[in-house]
Structure formats: C-alpha cells, structure tokens
C-alpha cells in the first residue's frame, strides 16, 4: 500500500510540473492520471502478479472438469465397460441443459491456469468440458449442442485417426478452433506415455503438435494423458516442449507439478443427472 502511495505521489507531481510548464488543462491531465492509477490499483487488488507455488495451487478449490469420449446411442454389442465411455446423445443433451439451467458457465484452460496460479476470478459455477479421441460425434452432436448455450470446450485430438471413418477431419477441427474451442494433444495413437522410449517422443508428441498447429494456426499448449496415466519423466518432457498444463483422470494430483496432473472425471453413459451433479460436488473441492 505504501509503495502505491509513493508511486501515486510521484505521478501527480510529474503531471503538475508538466502542466505548469506547458500551460495545459490541469483538470484534463489529472483526470487521465486518476484513470490510469485507478486501473493499476484495481488490477493489483484482483490478481496477484506472483504465480502461486504448488502448495497454493493445490489449496485452491478445484473446478469440475468433465471428460467425454463417444456420444452416441448404445448398441447391443456394447459391453458394460464400453458404456463407461459412451454417453447416449439424449443423455448428453439433458446434461448440458441441466448445467445451463443451474447456472454453470464453461471456462477454458487459460482461465483455469490463471485462476490456479494467480487467483484470477472465474464466473459463477465454472466448469470445463473436455473431449478425448477425436470421435466424429463430438463434432456432429456435442459441438452442435454446446453452441445452443454458448458453451466452449477442449478437444484432445489423437492424430492417427484424422479423416478416418467415424472420426473428425482437419476441416472440422479447424472449425472447432475458429469457434473458440481449444484444441489439445492426445498423442498420435494413444500409446501409454509411461512406456515411451527413443523416437516415441517425436512420433507421439512432437509430430502431432506440429500437425495440430498447422491445422489451427495456433499454439498447442495443453495435453491429455492416454488412459489418464502419467509419470514424472513425462511431465519433464511436456515442460521441455512448452506445454502449459496436462490433464489426467481422477487420480491424485502431483504435489510438485499439479498443473500437469489436473483432474477430470469420465462421465459414464448410464449416470443420471442427479448422479452427475453429486459427483461434481463431491469430487471437486
């Protein structure tokens, strides 16, 4: 506070001297000075300029992050385990309607990171929607439904499947990006990162990143671990490559690098709306 007062006093004296020498309109100049100083004070009051350390990040309340894979009606051949990853289209529509009706607002990773590291404010009832594996129904159903509510999300792309039957193509991914959604990396072909050796880092991380950047024209800075599995070496490699954060599933966050082990929950296809709401409330505190 004392430092702010000193800065303010020096600024006022500077304006005063300039005004005296120039014969200018002191009121107008002082109004500008007040406006500038007010913005500085407001900024310093709301967001810390010093990023939080790991313990501070871990102490902040977690934002609910939902993870979806396939969005389609069940088939007779779908096993119970498969239904953990398949949300019927009607259920997905009901879920978004429920979230919007209860006042949830989608945020994007940059907002989440700013909140976790600097304490930046978030909208009331923030939520992050994420989608893994590049399935076409994420574009044809999820994206279409999200637009009704002004919702945005993160699409983690597995590049080996681009353009294949029942998967998104480059143009669709570009459209998602241009509409304000975030495109993230989900490796080339979903191999477990804990088993990478030698050229695997180039094949699974570097080349997919360059491809996605060529499609979107934007930097790719967020990563989702296949199967939600990670280790310390992978975090080191992701940092080296400029990734800002990485997303796992529901495991415990790393105490040293919580930004690279951000938690999500997979939404099973058989969950009721009340079950989804309960899990969001109980598992993100």
- Indicate whether 40 and 166 sit together in one domain: no
Is residue 122 a contact partner of residue 100, using CB atoms and an 8 Å limit? no
Would the pLDDT of 206 be above 50? yes
Is residue 260 a contact partner of residue 230, using CB atoms and an 8 Å limit? yes
Per-residue pLDDT, 14: 43
Q: Which residues contact 3 (CB under 8 A, 6 or more apart)?
A: none
Domain containing 92 — which CATH number? 3.20.20.370
Per-residue pLDDT, 50: 76
| Rounded Cα distance, 129 and 106, in Å | 7
Average of pLDDT values for 255-268? 97
Residue 67's Cβ-count burial label (10 Å; 0-12, 13-18, 19+) is buried
Between 221 and 15, the more confident residue is 221
- Indicate whether 34 and 65 sit together in one domain: no
- Indicate whether 67 and 34 sit together in one domain: no
pLDDT-based confidence at 47, cuts 50/70/90? low
Would the pLDDT of 69 be above 70? yes
Average of pLDDT values for 15-26? 45
Mean pLDDT, the chain, integer: 88
Per-residue pLDDT, 36: 39
Is residue 91 a contact partner of residue 277, using CB atoms and an 8 Å limit? no
- Indicate whether 20 and 119 sit together in one domain: no
Long-range contacts of the stretch 278-281 (C-beta < 8 A, 24+): 280/64, 280/66, 280/127
Per the structure, the complete domain to which residue 135 belongs is given by 54-283
- Indicate whether 131 and 252 sit together in one domain: yes
Into how many domains does the chain fold?
2
pLDDT-based confidence at 49, cuts 50/70/90? low
For the segment 105-154, what is each residue's pLDDT rounded down to a tens digit? 999 999 999 999 999 999 999 999 999 999 999 999 999 999 999 999 99
Q: Which residues contact 39 (CB under 8 A, 6 or more apart)?
A: none
| Rounded Cα distance, 186 and 165, in Å | 19
pLDDT-based confidence at 283, cuts 50/70/90? confident
Would the pLDDT of 28 be above 90? no
Would the pLDDT of 177 be above 80? yes
| Rounded Cα distance, 197 and 220, in Å | 22
Is residue 65 a contact partner of residue 228, using CB atoms and an 8 Å limit? no
- Indicate whether 20 and 68 sit together in one domain: no
- Indicate whether 17 and 77 sit together in one domain: no
- Indicate whether 29 and 107 sit together in one domain: no
- Provide the percentage of residues in the chain whose pLDDT is more than 70: 83
Is residue 131 a contact partner of residue 167, using CB atoms and an 8 Å limit? no
pLDDT-based confidence at 51, cuts 50/70/90? confident
- Indicate whether 11 and 121 sit together in one domain: no
**pTM for this entry:** 0.83
- Indicate whether 241 and 201 sit together in one domain: yes
- Indicate whether 30 and 165 sit together in one domain: no
- Indicate whether 66 and 33 sit together in one domain: no
Average of pLDDT values for 51-76? 96
First to last CA, the chain: 32
């Amino acid at each position: 506070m004392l430092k702010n007062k000193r800065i303010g006093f020096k600024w006022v004296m500077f304006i005063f001297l300039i005004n005296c020498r120039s014969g200018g309109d002191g009121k107008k100049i002082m109004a500008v000075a007040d406006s500038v100083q007010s913005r500085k004070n407001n900024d310093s009051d709301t967001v810390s300029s010093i990023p939080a350390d790991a313990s501070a990040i871990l102490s902040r309340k977690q934002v609910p992050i939902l993870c979806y894979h396939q969005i389609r009606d069940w088939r007779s051949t779908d096993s119970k385990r498969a239904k953990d990853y398949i949300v019927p289209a009607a259920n997905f529509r009901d879920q978004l309607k429920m979230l919007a009706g209860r006042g949830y607002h989608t945020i994007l990773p940059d907002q989440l990171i700013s909140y976790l590291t600097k304490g930046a404010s978030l909208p009331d009832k923030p939520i992050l929607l994420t989608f893994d594996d590049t399935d076409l129904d994420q574009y044809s159903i999820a994206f279409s439904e999200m637009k009704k509510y002004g919702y945005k999300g993160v699409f983690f792309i597995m590049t080996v499947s681009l353009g294949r039957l029942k998967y998104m193509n480059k143009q669709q991914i570009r459209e998602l990006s241009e509409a304000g959604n975030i495109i993230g990396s989900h490796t080339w072909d979903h191999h477990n990162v804990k088993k990478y050796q030698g050229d695997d880092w180039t094949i699974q991380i570097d080349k997919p990143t360059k491809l996605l950047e060529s499609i979107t024209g934007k930097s790719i800075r967020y990563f989702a671990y296949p199967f939600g599995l990670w280790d310390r070496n992978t975090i080191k490699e992701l940092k080296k490559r400029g990734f800002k954060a990485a997303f796992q599933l529901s495991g415990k966050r790393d105490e040293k690098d919580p930004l690279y082990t951000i938690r999500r929950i997979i939404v099973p296809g058989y969950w009721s709306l009340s079950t989804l709401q309960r899990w969001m409330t109980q598992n993100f505190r």
